[in-house]
Amino acid sequence: MLEPTTSEELRDCIRDHEKVAIQGGCSKRRLVGDFAGRQLISTAKLCGVIEYKPDEYIFTAKAGTKLSEIKAMLAENGQYLPCDPPLVDEGATLGGAVAAGLNGPGSYRFGGLRDFILGVRFVDGAGRLIMGGGKVVKNAAGFDFPKLMVGSLGRLGALAELTLKVFPEPEGLSHLRLRCSNLQAAVATLNELANQPWDLDALELLPGTHELKFRLRGEPGALDDRRARIGADIDPTGGLFWDERGSLLLGKPDDYLAKIPITPDQIAAVADRFSDECVVSIAGNVAWVAGADLGEIGGLGIPALIVRGRAGETVVGPKRAAALHTALKHAFDPEERFPPAVMT
């Protein structure tokens, strides 16, 4: 295992080997792909914050920097990353978070990783260090490589440095819930809530119990009035629930864990098969399901990313293939140093 400490060393490690695979904190190791026959390169020592400018709402850090370290640094300045990527306590790194493209419940309020990434420095498959984007919150120069890298699973390039936007963290936080009589009512209520100007911080649905779980942030003094107007109850078990979301706790240890992008209209179909081992997140835009059978997950007929579980395909379900996908992979990785691309 190679452990480069700088972007240049990372580049050299990649240049020196025909087939490579990059791993970060190993909190989402299955997404690295099949690393048989590949030189494993770890970002464990490619860590550290390069620049943090609270007044500019930005920070730049090396890819192997732990999210826990970044969170703590931001919190000291009253700032945070609203998209709250998961597995912080499990050792997730900044680069791994972006490469995996998994967004936490907080993405509901202001957007996901794609809406907070500003710049990237990465090593391409030809062994060159490439910059994309910039270090300011507003930038329209050049192609948007930062966005492209979100969810690219290390198949187009090895992330070396990343610049992200941050926001001021509101002082107050409330955990709320609403119990609904059945799933249909829960989905209808979810849509109603999302259509109101309530500025909810997160909005999740549990198909098994047809409950809605959500968060409110803002001025502490205003939270209860807002809660009352929304018509929701305080959720005494909220703390535990949101911690579990952060750790992607779902199903049994051996189960496959899948991330399935959906719209609210598809909640019923997913719940039909996975009711208890399912959490619908980000106002019905993604279903997390756990199951023992990959075929059952693929059988939903919706593309699913398999984040955890025994070895096998990275994506199941219908796939979209285009000549463009091959051409793009070739542009970034002409000699196929990185594992095969995932483009849907």
Stretch that binds other proteins, among 19-27, 62-70, 131-139, 205-213 (CB under 8 A): 131-139
Interface residue with other proteins among 8, 56, 233, 254 (CB under 8 A) is: 56
Q: Is 221 in the site for other proteins (CB under 8 A)?
A: yes
Interface residue with other proteins among 96, 105, 151, 207 (CB under 8 A) is: 151
Chain residues 183-212 in contact with other proteins, contact rule CB under 8 A: 191, 194-199
Least Å distance, CB 28 to other proteins, is 13
Least Å distance, CB 59 to other proteins, is 13
Q: Is 7 in the site for other proteins (CB under 8 A)?
A: no
Residue whose entry in the numeric block shows the structure tokens 């390039």: 157
Distance (Å, rounded) from C-alpha 94 to C-alpha 49? Answer: 10
One-letter amino acid for residue 290 of the chain: A
Q: What is the 3-state secondary structure (H, E, C) of 265-302?
A: HHHHHHHHHHHHHEEEECCCCEEEEEECCHHHHHCCCC
Least Å distance, CB 145 to other proteins, is 8
Q: Is 181 in the site for other proteins (CB under 8 A)?
A: no
Distance (Å, rounded) from C-alpha 258 to C-alpha 115? Answer: 23
Interface residue with other proteins among 25, 101, 105, 207 (CB under 8 A) is: 101
Nearer to other proteins (CB atom), residue 89 or residue 171: 171
Q: What is the 3-state secondary structure (H, E, C) of 154-191?
A: CCCCEEEEEEEECEECCCEEEEEEEECCCHHHHHHHHH
Chain residues 66-95 in contact with other proteins, contact rule CB under 8 A: 78
Q: Which residues pair with 218 in a beta bridge?
A: 172
Q: Is 163 in the site for other proteins (CB under 8 A)?
A: no
Interface residue with other proteins among 46, 59, 66, 124 (CB under 8 A) is: 124
DSSP codes joined into one string, 15-46? HT-SSEEEESSSTTGGGG---TTSEEEE-TTS
Chain residues 9-48 in contact with other proteins, contact rule CB under 8 A: none
How many residues bind other proteins, per CB under 8 A? 87
Sign of CA dihedral 81, 62, 91, 297: positive
Interface residue with other proteins among 106, 304, 308, 337 (CB under 8 A) is: 304
77 and 54 in contact (C-beta within 8 Å)?
A: yes
Contacts of 312 (CB under 8 A, 6+ apart): 294, 306
Q: Nearest to residue 270, comparing CAs of 252, 256, 291?
A: 291
Distance (Å, rounded) from C-alpha 47 to C-alpha 25? Answer: 11
Nearer to other proteins (CB atom), residue 122 or residue 242: 122
Interface residue with other proteins among 34, 48, 139, 272 (CB under 8 A) is: 139
Nearer to other proteins (CB atom), residue 47 or residue 286: 286
Chain residues 226-285 in contact with other proteins, contact rule CB under 8 A: 226, 229, 259, 261-265, 282, 284-285
Least Å distance, CB 1 to other proteins, is 26
Interface residue with other proteins among 12, 69, 144, 336 (CB under 8 A) is: 144
